[in-house]
Amino acid sequence: MKIIVLVKQVPNTTEVKLDPKTGNLIREGIESIINPDDRHALEAAVRLKETAKAKVTVLSMGPPQAIDAVSEAMGMGADEGILLTDRAFAGADTWATSSTLGKAIETIGAFDLILCGRQAIDGDTAQIGPQVADYLKVPQVTYVIAIEEIKEKSIVVKRRLEDGFERVECDLPALLTVIGEMNTPRYPLVSRLIDACREKAPIKIWNAADIGVQTREVGLEGSLTHVIKTFAPKLQRQTEMIQGDAKTAVAALAGKLREKKLL
Amino acid sequence: MTVWVEVDLCSGCKRCVRACPYGAIEMKEGKAQVLERCTSCGACLQVCKEKALQTDVKPREIPDFSDRKGVWVFAEQREGRLNKVSLELLGKAQELGAALSQSVSALLLGDRVADLAPTLAEYGAETIYLVEHKALKDFRTTAYTKAIEDLVKKYKPNILLMGATHVGRDLAPRVSRRVEVGLTADCTELTIDPTEGILLQTRPAFGGNVMATIANRYSRPQMATVRPGVMEAVRKPGAKGQVIRHDVSLMESEIGTKVLEVVREKKKKANLSEAKVIVAGGRGVGDAAGFKILEELAAALGGELAGTRVAVEEGWITADRQVGQTGQSVRPELYIACGISGAIQHRAGMMNSRYIVAVNKDPRAPIFQVADWGIVGDLRDVVPEMIETMKNK
C-alpha cells in the first residue's frame, strides 16, 4: 500500500503577537513545528506501515527551512520525503496550494491513500485536504478519528460529527483528513533523525519546473483570493466602570441591566 | 516579479510598512527596504504617495462577471433538521442582497426535505433550489458536490455561503475546487465593498491575533464559509419563497463513500450557541469550587456556564463549554466574564455578545476594554452578591 502524507511546517501560533507600533506580525524567535493535526496523520500512516506493509512518502510545501519538518517526519518513520520549494509558490491561497500539491502527487505517481491533518494552525482553513482530493478526483473523508479496516478496494473509517460520529466506507484510492483525537503521535527516533539529515537521505527537493507547473498557475499569481487588509481585531467598547464595594456595585449593575431589560 | 524601492523618492513615511500584509518591508536608515519574504502582492504600491515603490508585476485583468447574480446559502440539514447556522447565513444574505440589489436563495439538498422550504423562506430565501434524491439522504461529499456544481453552472450565482460546520468545511472546499473558484474559510464578517461591489470576507488568522480581509476578485461565485453563532438570523414572518426543483443524476458507483452507521453520543452537551445569558470564568476563578458558584449565578439568570481554555485545561469545566478561538463563538444577550483577563483568543469568541459585564480584581485586565460594564473586585465578594440580587429580582 502506498501512502502519501501531506505535512505543513507552521509557526507555533499561540505565541504570535502583533507589534504594537507597526501592526506587523512579530515572527522573530518563534519556533517552527510540524502542524499538530499533520503529526496525527503521520502517526496514522506509520501505524499502517507496521500493520499493512505500507510505504510512506511525506510531502511538504514551504520555504527551504521546511526541510526540518520533512526530516522530522522521516524520524517518525516515513520512508521518503519531498519538499516543494520555490519562490514562485509563495503567497499561495488554498486554490494555488491545492493545484501545486495535486501536481506534485501526480508527479509522485500511483497511491492508495493520502493522509493529512484537518487544518493547519496558522491558517485554520481546513480546505487543502478536500481541494487536493477534488483535484485528484478521489473520494474524501474529513475529521477522521479512526481507521477500522482496510479492504482490498475500500477503507472503513470513523468520522467525527458535532454530536457523535459516523462510520464511513470509502473507495480506494482516497484522501482522509484526521484530527487530534485519532492517536498519540510518537516522538521521532534520534537514529532516524540523524539518517534523515545525512546527505544521501531519501529526501527530494522539487521546484515549480520539477512538477511541471507555470509560475502563473501557482503562488500569489495563481491564487483566486487575496488578502487586501490585515489589522488587529478591534474589540473595544465604551466601558463604564462601576465603583463602590461589592454590594453597592452589584446593586448599581442590576439597575443598568434592568434598564436594558436584561433582567 | 519583484517590488523595489526607489530610495531617492522614499520619504520614510512608513505607510508601506503598515500596509504590507506579510511584514516584508522594514525601515533602514530612514528609507523603506523590501525584504526577501515579499510576495509581490502590491499592497504597498497603492499606499505610497511618493511613488517610491515600483514593480514589474503586470496588473491582473478582472474578468467580466456582470451576468453573475444572486446571494446563495447552502441550507445544511441532517435527518430533516436544519442547522441553525444556515438561518444565520440567510440573515446575512438578506443584508448582502440588499446592498447589491440581488435576490437571496437557499440550496436545499436531501431525500424528502421539501417541507423545510417554508422555513427557509421565512428566514429570507426568496428562491429555494430543491434537489431531492435517495443518494442525498446522508451527507456525502461527492454527491452533494455534484448537485451544487449542477446548480452553480446552471444559475450562475454571485455569492455562495456555507456554515463552517463539519459538513460545510468538508463540502465547501470540494465545491470550490470543482467550480474553479476561490474560497475563504471561517469568516466572521462579510460586507459588500461599495465601489467595487465585491464581497469583503474578514476572518481571524494566526490564532485570532490578526484579522484579515480577503477578496475574491477573479472567480464567481465568491465563496465563503462562516463561523456558526456570528451572524444573526432575521425572521420575516409570512414570507413566501419560490421553490425550483432540480433533478440530478447520481450513480452510486461514482459517489465513492457509504455511510454505514451514524452514532449520536448522548452526553448532556452545553448549548452555548442558544443561551441568552452566559456566565464565564477564567484563571481568576481559582478552582472547581469557584465554578460551582458561577454555575449558581448562571442558574439564577437562566443561563449557561462557560469558561476559557485555561479553565478547560485545569479541568474546572468540560471542553464543550470553552469559549474562544479554539472553542465556540457565542453571541448571548448578556455575557458575564468572571476572573477572565481577556486574552485575544478568548475575546475573539465572545466579542459579539450584546452586552458584556466584566468582574476582575486587576483594573488593568484587558477584558475591561471590551466590557460595557466593569466591576473591579474580588469574585468571592461580587459573585455571591450578584446571586443574591438576581434571586430577588
* Cα–Cα nearest to B124, from B164, B96, B162, B93: B93
Query: Rounded distance, CA B148 to CA B131, Å?
Result: 9
User: What's the number of CA atoms in the CB half-sphere (13 Å) around residue A167?
Assistant: 9
3-state secondary structure B159-206: EEEEECCCCHHHHHHHHHHHCCCCEEEEECEEEECCCCCCEEEEEEEH
Dump pLDDT digits (tens) for A46-97.
Answer: 999 988 889 999 999 999 999 999 999 999 999 999 999 998 898 899 999 9
Burial class of residue A163 in the structure, from the number of CB atoms within 10 Å of its CB (0-12 exposed, 13-18 middle, 19+ buried): middle
Q: Contact A169/B258, CB-based, under 8 Å?
A: yes
Instruction: Tell me the CATH number at B99.
Output: 3.40.50.620
User: Which is nearest to A47 in space by CA: A101, A1, A10, A110?
Assistant: A1
Q: Could you report the per-residue pLDDT of B123-182, keeping only the tens digit for each?
A: 999 999 999 999 999 999 999 999 999 999 999 999 999 999 999 999 999 999 999 999
Contact between B135 and B256 (Cβ < 8 Å) = no
Band (A201; pLDDT cuts 50, 70, 90): confident
- Residues of chain B with Cβ-Cβ distance to A249 below 8 Å are 375, 377, 382
CA distance B53 to B32: 9
> Does position A172 have pLDDT exceeding 80, yes or no?
yes
In Å, how far are B66, B74, B108, B136 from B85, measured between CA atoms? 29, 10, 14, 20
SS3 B15: helix
Name the residue among B2, B5, B21 with its Cα closest to residue B13: B5
Angstroms from B17 CA to nearest CA on chain A: 7
Q: Position B145: which residue type?
A: T
State which residue of chain B sits closest to A17, comparing Cα positions: B209
Where does a domain end: B228, B255, B282? B255
Check if the beta carbon of residue A31 is closer than 8 Å to that of residue A50. no
Same domain, residue pair B201 and B346: no
Q: pLDDT (tens digit, 9 = 90+) per residue, A236-253?
A: 788 899 998 999 999 999
Please state, in angstroms and as integers, the Cα–Cα distance from residue B270 to each residue in A150, B299, B378, following that order: 36, 13, 27
Question: Smallest Cα–Cα separation from A98: which of A108, A89, A86?
Answer: A89
Contact A142 B166 (CB under 8 A): yes
Nearest-5° Cα angle at A122, B39 to A195: 90
B97 and B215 share a domain? Answer: yes
The distance of B115 to chain A (nearest Cα, Å) reads: 24
Q: Are residues B174 and B295 in the same domain?
A: no
Joined grid coordinates for residue A141: 473523508
**Number of structural domains, chain B?**
3
Q: What is the pLDDT of residues A14-38, one digit of tens each?
A: 555 666 555 556 666 778 899 999 9
Residue B262 domain-assigned (yes or no): no
Asked if the Cβ–Cβ distance from B258 to A141 is below 8 Å, we say no
Q: Nearest residue on chain B to A128, judged by CA atoms? A: B173
Give the domain range for residue B34. Answer: 3-55
| A-to-B residue pairs, Cβ atoms closer than 8 angstroms | 266
Contact B288, B327 (CB under 8 A): no
Q: Which of B206, B214, B257 sits opposite A228 (nearest CB)?
A: B214
Burial (Cβ within 10 Å: 0-12, 13-18, ≥19) of residue A239: middle
Give the burial class of B392: count Cβ atoms within 10 A of its Cβ; 0-12 exposed, 13-18 middle, 19 or more buried: exposed
- For A180, residues 6+ apart whose C-beta sits below 8 A from its C-beta are A36, A37, A40
Nearest CA in chain B to A119: B169
The sign of the torsion formed by the CA atoms of B130, B135, B141, B142 equals: negative
Closest residue in chain A to residue B41, using alpha carbons only: A220
Answer whether A65 touches B (CB < 8 Å): no
Does a cis peptide bond (omega within 30 degrees of 0) precede residue A173?
Answer: yes
Place of cell 518513520: A77
Task: Supply the pTM of this predicted model.
Answer: 0.79
Give me the CATH number covering residue B282: 3.40.50.1220
Does A171 contact chain B (CB < 8 Å)? yes
- With contact defined as beta carbons under 8 Å apart, do A227 and B212 qualify? yes
Position B123 scores a pLDDT of 97
Q: Is residue B215 assigned to a domain?
A: yes
- Please answer yes or no on whether A124 and B215 come within 8 Å at the CB atom: no
In a domain? residue B201: yes
Q: Cβ of A125 and B386 within 8 Å?
A: no
- In sequence order, the 6+-apart residues with CB closer than 8 A to the CB of A139 are A133, A170, A171, A174, A175, B141, B142, B255, B256, B257
Residue A167 with chain B: CB contacts under 8 Å: 259-261, 263
The cell for A35 is 502542524
Contact B26, B17 (CB under 8 A): yes
Q: Do A75 and A188 contact (CB within 8 A), yes or no?
A: yes
Q: Which three cell numbers stand for residue B125?
A: 430565501
Q: Specify whether B50 is located in the same domain as B111.
A: no
Is residue B66 included in any domain, yes or no?
no
Cβ pair B355, B333 in contact under 8 A: yes
Write the ipTM. 0.89
Shared domain for B7 and B81, answered yes or no, is no
Tell me, what's the pLDDT at B208? 66
Pick the closest to residue A128 from A137, A115, A119, A136 (CA basis).
A119
Residue B267 in any domain: the answer is no
The CATH number of A2-217 is: 3.40.50.620
B300 domain-assigned: yes
Do residues B95 and B226 share a domain?
yes
In whole angstroms, what is the distance from residue A103 CA to residue B137 CA? 34
Write down the mean pLDDT value for chain A.
90
Q: pLDDT means per 10 residues in chain B (393 residues)?
A: 87 90 84 81 84 82 92 96 96 97 98 97 98 97 98 98 96 98 95 95 78 93 93 93 96 94 78 88 95 94 93 91 86 94 88 91 92 94 92 73
Q: Residues B165, B170, B174, B177: is their CA dihedral positive or negative?
A: positive
User: Which is nearest to A140 in space by CA: A92, A178, A110?
Assistant: A178
Tell me how far apart the alpha carbons of residues A65 and A143 are, in angstroms, rounded to a whole number: 29
The pLDDT of residue A132: 98
Judge: B373–A251 Cβ closer than 8 Å, yes or no: no
Q: Please say whether the beta carbons of A122 and A89 come within 8 A.
A: no
Residue B15 lies in a domain: yes
Q: How far is A195 from chain B (nearest CA, A)?
A: 31
Q: Which of residues 174-213 of A touch B (CB under 8 A)?
A: 174
CB B41 to CB A226 under 8 A?
Answer: yes
Rounded to whole angstroms, how far apart are CA atoms B125 and B115? 14
CB contact under 8 A, B207 and A14: yes
pLDDT of amino acid B329: 84
Q: Which three cell numbers stand for residue A216?
A: 502563473
Residues 6+ apart with CB under 8 A from B134: B111
Q: Does A242 touch chain B (CB under 8 A)?
A: yes
Whether B136 and B18 share a structural domain: no
Write out chain A residues lying below 8 Å of B142, CB-based.
139
What local confidence, expressed as pLDDT, does residue A17 receive? 61
